[in-house]
Amino acid sequence: MPSFIHERVRIVDLKLPPEIDAALAREARRAHKPKSALLRRALEAYLEELADARAVGAARSQGGKPIPWAEVKRRHGLAG
């Protein structure tokens, strides 16, 4: 997973409802990681998914056809 984290970071103010903050705090304790690390990871995953969805939309708008997952695996030697 590519990382958007570099030597320099920017601080972002994020307001969360109490129930989401509590759930985040619980998961951070379980993972032994700071809440900020979990939020960074979640945002990276979301942004990657968004980019993928946009790429699919662009391909479809240009007449691209979906390829079945089994075919993708076969083409890349992952079928087994």
Query: 11-29 pLDDT, tens per residue?
Result: 999 999 999 999 999 999 9
Of residues 37 and 62, which shows the higher confidence score?
37
- pLDDT of residue 2 exceeding 60, the answer is no
Q: Which position has the higher pLDDT, 2 or 65?
A: 65
**Which residues, in sequence order, are CB contacts of 1 under 8 Å at separation 6+?**
44, 45, 48
- Model-level pTM? 0.67
23: tokens are: 């759930």
| Tokens (6 digits) for 73 | 């695996």
Place of tokens 């304790």: 29
